[in-house]
Each structure stands twice: as C-alpha cells, then as structure tokens.
Amino acid sequence: MSIPNRSTGPRSVNGKAVSRLNALKTGIYAKAEVILPTEDPEQLEALTAEYHQRFAPATPEQRCLVDSLVSDEWLLRRFRAIEGQLLSRVLRHAFKVDEESRTAVAYLGCYDNLNYLQRRVNATRRSFEKSLAVLNQLQAASHPQPVQPDAASTRFVPTPAPTAPAAAPPEAPQNQNRPAGKLPPLPLGAAPVPASPQILP
C-alpha cells in the first residue's frame, strides 16, 4: 500500500526561494561532486538563490553566467577554507617554535601549497569578473536605458524681447513758403474761420 504524498512544499522564505529556482539550476548543481563532505549543501542552495534573485536571468545564456558566478564564489570560499586548514595543520606541529613565530613558520612550511592555491584563487577571480562583465552587458542590452538628450541641444536660448515699432517721423508743415498775411487753405469740409472785425478810426 502506497502512502499518499501530503507534502505542502517548503514553508520558510529561504526554502520557497530555493524551490522556486529549482528549474533554473544547471546540471552542475544536481551533482553531489560539487559539494565536499565538509561543506554544507544548504549554503550552496542559499548562495544560488541569492544570485538568481539578484540577476533574475531571463535567457539560457544569462542563466549559465549566473551559475558560473555561483560556482566561482563557491570555489573562492573553498580555497579560503583550504588555506586556513593548511596553516592550522602546520601550526599543530610547530610547538617547538616560539608562539610569535609560529604563524611565519606555518606559512614557510606550506609555501608551495599556498603558492599553488593562490594561482587557483587568481584564476577563479578572473573567471568571476569576466562572467560578471558579460552578464551585465547582456542584461543592459535586453533592458536599454532611455537615451538622455545632449546637453548642447537642451541649453536655454533666451527669446529676444519684442521691439517697439519705430515712431513715424513728424510731418513737415505745409505751405511753409506762403506769403505773409495769408492763411493756409482749409481742408475740405472744414468750417470757415470768421474774419476778425476791423475797427474803424
């Protein structure tokens, strides 16, 4: 008799975030080899969820790059842990050395291993930076920003103030050369001016 599956799925916020991203994971996260026995698989799941939430890859290419970022950071965390383990191992056997010099002796004791480890760290960091740059380019191309107008085309040009119409030159007086004692002719329709009365002696 089979027992019915009554699971309601993850209930915590972290669990729901990881479950929502299950379909986005590539094959490398489905293999147990990516996690060593000394590592916590929940930490890798949380790291994967953080990167997918941060970048929200919309295409297979973007998803591959996000997975590469997760893998590179996971390796960097592992390399830091290995460095500490190498130094701790040498320190445990350095009891004959004074306490102030033990750390230096530990570094000298595993110099070759640390040198090789540093090369792995440098290569992984370059891989991380390259994947991040390409991912940012892809996402910027899929979400173009509005073009900002050129500052030269939006500079303020003041509108010239309206100019007042030029005043008409004064009309020259008519009949300037008329004889003395004669009045200028009246315009048409004007009432005649009465003559001034003459006073007889």
Closest CA relative to residue 74, chosen from 132, 124, 129, 19: 124
pLDDT of residue 74: 95
pLDDT of residue 89: 84
- Cα(199)–Cα(201) distance, integer angstroms: 7
- Cα(4)–Cα(55) distance, integer angstroms: 38
Domain ranges (residues) in the chain: 13-144
- Cα(111)–Cα(107) distance, integer angstroms: 6
Residue type at position 44: L
Q: What is the pLDDT along the chain (201 residues), one digit of tens a residue?
A: 545 555 555 566 555 544 544 544 454 554 544 788 889 999 999 999 999 999 999 999 999 999 999 999 999 999 999 999 998 888 877 666 666 777 787 888 888 999 999 999 999 999 999 999 999 999 999 876 655 655 555 555 556 666 666 666 666 555 555 555 555 565 565 555 555 555 555
